[in-house]
Amino acid sequence: MGKNKLARFAELATFPHVLQPSKDEVLEGFPMAGKWKSDFFKNERPLVVELGCGRGEYSVALGQRDPSKNYLGVDIKGARIWEGAKKAMIDGMDHVGFLRTRIEWVKHCFAAGEIDEIWITFPDPQIKYQRAKHRMIGPAFLAVYRDLIASNGCIHLKSDSEFLHGYLHGIIEWWGLEVLETYHDIYGQVIDQPDHVVFACQTFYEKMWLKQGKTITYLKFKFPEDGGSR
C-alpha cells in the first residue's frame, strides 16, 4: 500500500463526518440506524444516500446544488471516499457525510423508511450471468432498497450501460414500479434542461465514458405504496 493511501486512511479516521464501522458493529446492531438525521446530521432534513459513491463526487455536487437535504455517500474504498470527504470538510458542508462499509450490508445501516432518495451512479453492470447477483439494481438489492426507502421516496440510476438501463426497466415492469423519468441519452434528450439534476456533476467515470463516445442513461423510479410485488 502506497504512502499516499496510508496517509489518506489516517486522515480519514480523523474526519467527524465519516463513519467507518467494523463488520461486527454493522451486523450486530448498528447504533446509527434510524438516527442518521437526529444524531449524525442533527436535523430532520430529507436523507439522500449515494450507494457506491467512489470519490463522493455526486454526493458533494448534490450537496452544493441543494443544501436543504442531507447527503450520505456509501462505499468500501476509504482512499476514494477521502476525496469527497476532504472537499466537503474544506467547503464547510456539514450536510454531507460518508459511511465506509459494504453495499451488501446497507440493510443493517438504516432503519425502515429512513432514506428519502437513493442515487446509484455508474455501477458495474456485472454483465456475466454468474455475476448477476452483484448488480446493484438487481432484485436482491432492490428488495433491500424497498425496505429502506421512505413511502414517497425515489431511486436514481445514472449509467453508461444501455444493458443496465434496459435491465432495470424490465424489473420495473415485472414488479409494477413507477417510472418517474427515463432517458437513454441525457446529452441528447435533456440538454434543453441545463438545471436538471443529471447535470449536477460529471464524475471521473462519466468523463471517461464520454471520451469513449458512450451515451449516458438516466432512470428515476419509485416503489408503489404497497412496495411492489415480484
Instruction: Please give the positions annotated as active site.
Output: 124
Q: For residue 67, what is its C-alpha cell?
A: 443544501
Report the DSSP pairing between strands 217-222 and 178-183.
antiparallel
Partnered with residue 18 across adjacent β-strands are 98
**17, 20, 19, 31: which is closest to 108 by C-alpha?**
31
| Nearest to 203, CA basis, from 115, 119, 100 | 119
Report d(CA 217, CA 182) in Å as an integer.
Answer: 8
Number of H helices, E strands in the chain: 8, 8
Residue pair 151/187 in contact (Cβ under 8 Å)? The answer is no
Helices 162-175 & 139-148 angle (0-180, nearest 10): 60
- C-alpha–C-alpha distance, residues 38 and 44, integer Å: 6
